[in-house]
């Protein structure tokens, strides 16, 4: 008895086969990610540190604006903890849009699961993200030793057991980012103008996320009108979880559950959309 292409068994077997193909080419994914990274930083002296420096410098700019020109309770650690998380997702979206277009020659010469391209881009971004988190935790510990008065700097604390949350948050964000990158890669091939819009999408997304502005803003009269829409932002619960792990903000289990749902929905949808379309990629290149 033959199986139709619409039967659940057919799609299950296809999924298992696809995952096996990805795992069989895991070394190819790694070398492609490292090759892209080395090529991207071949002409720079600082190399990997630029991945950390970009969000750090942005954090410094916003800290100078909101810490001196418009004084507030947001210190540099508060800004960095949100900026690093956002930068990882923004890189996945930007890199996903370019993953296929920048490897067009590879696509025409080799046969492999096309999802490898956004995956390799994401692994490249993940390395930089992990390094940036290590830098942030190191700065936290140094400041904890130097500044011993928690009342003067409430966001300076010694990383505690809540850092274990990173073991859940990072894989969930990876899945979420892979879904976003896959959607961007799917749209960027037939619609090249997507690459021009993504920087503006990232900038608007940055301002709508609780990175520059504090959560206390939602308690104001105007903020209460904005609060229901702010919570629809998938980075809202994610940044909340990371800040619980990194700077000692109160941990809310609901935030973790909310982002887990976002990660599953966007991840499954984006990957499925890309895989279903990947056979038609070559005709648009």
Global confidence as pTM: 0.82
Contact 231, 211 (CB under 8 A): no
- The C-alpha atoms of residue 104 and residue 176 are separated, in whole angstroms, by 25
Closest CA to 256 of 194, 166, 177: 166
In this predicted structure, what is the pLDDT of residue 242? 92
- The C-alpha atoms of residue 250 and residue 241 are separated, in whole angstroms, by 9
Which pairs from 65-69 meet CB under 8 Å and 24+ separation? 66/212
Closest CA to 132 of 91, 80, 177, 202: 80
pLDDT along the chain (285 residues), means of 10: 55 74 79 71 62 70 64 68 89 84 72 82 86 80 63 53 83 94 85 84 88 74 72 90 85 91 94 81 62
In this predicted structure, what is the pLDDT of residue 160? 62
SS (H, E, C) 189-210: CCCCCHHHHHHHHHHHHHHHCC
- The C-alpha atoms of residue 118 and residue 277 are separated, in whole angstroms, by 14
- The C-alpha atoms of residue 253 and residue 171 are separated, in whole angstroms, by 17
Closest CA to 128 of 33, 60, 211: 33
How many separate helices (H) and strands (E) can be counted in the chain?
12, 0
- The C-alpha atoms of residue 22 and residue 15 are separated, in whole angstroms, by 11
In this predicted structure, what is the pLDDT of residue 120? 86
In this predicted structure, what is the pLDDT of residue 174? 95
- The C-alpha atoms of residue 217 and residue 86 are separated, in whole angstroms, by 19
Closest CA to 160 of 246, 85, 239: 246
Name 273's Cβ contacts closer than 8 Å, sequence gap at least 6. Answer: 182, 183, 186
In this predicted structure, what is the pLDDT of residue 2? 46
Contact 198, 184 (CB under 8 A): yes
């Amino acid at each position: 008895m033959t199986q139709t292409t619409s039967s659940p068994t057919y799609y299950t077997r296809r999924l298992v086969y696809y995952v096996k193909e990805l795992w069989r080419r895991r070394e190819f994914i790694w070398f492609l990610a490292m090759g892209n990274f080395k090529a991207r930083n071949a002409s720079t002296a600082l190399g990997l540190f630029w991945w950390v420096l970009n969000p750090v410098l942005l954090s410094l700019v916003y800290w100078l604006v909101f810490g001196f020109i418009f004084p507030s309770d947001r210190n540099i650690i508060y800004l960095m903890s949100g900026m690093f998380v956002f930068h990882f997702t923004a890189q996945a979206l930007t890199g996903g849009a370019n993953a296929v277009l920048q490897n067009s020659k590879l696509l025409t010469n080799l046969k492999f699961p096309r999802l490898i391209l956004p995956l390799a881009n994401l692994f490249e971004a993940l390395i930089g993200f992990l390094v940036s988190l290590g830098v942030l935790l190191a700065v936290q510990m140094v400041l904890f030793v130097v500044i011993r008065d928690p009342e003067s700097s409430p966001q300076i604390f010694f990383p505690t057991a809540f850092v274990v949350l990173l073991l859940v948050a990072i894989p969930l964000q990876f899945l979420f980012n892979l879904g976003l990158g896959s959607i961007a890669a799917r749209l960027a091939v037939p619609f090249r103008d997507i690459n021009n819009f993504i920087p503006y999408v990232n900038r608007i997304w940055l301002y709508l996320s609780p990175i520059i502005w504090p959560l206390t803003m939602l308690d104001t009269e105007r903020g209460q009108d904005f609060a229901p829409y702010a919570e629809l932002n998938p980075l809202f619960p994610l940044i909340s979880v990371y800040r619980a792990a990194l700077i000692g903000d109160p941990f809310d289990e609901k935030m973790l559950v909310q982002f887990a749902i976002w990660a599953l929905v966007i991840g499954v949808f984006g990957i499925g959309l890309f895989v279903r379309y990947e056979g038609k990629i070559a005709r648009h290149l």
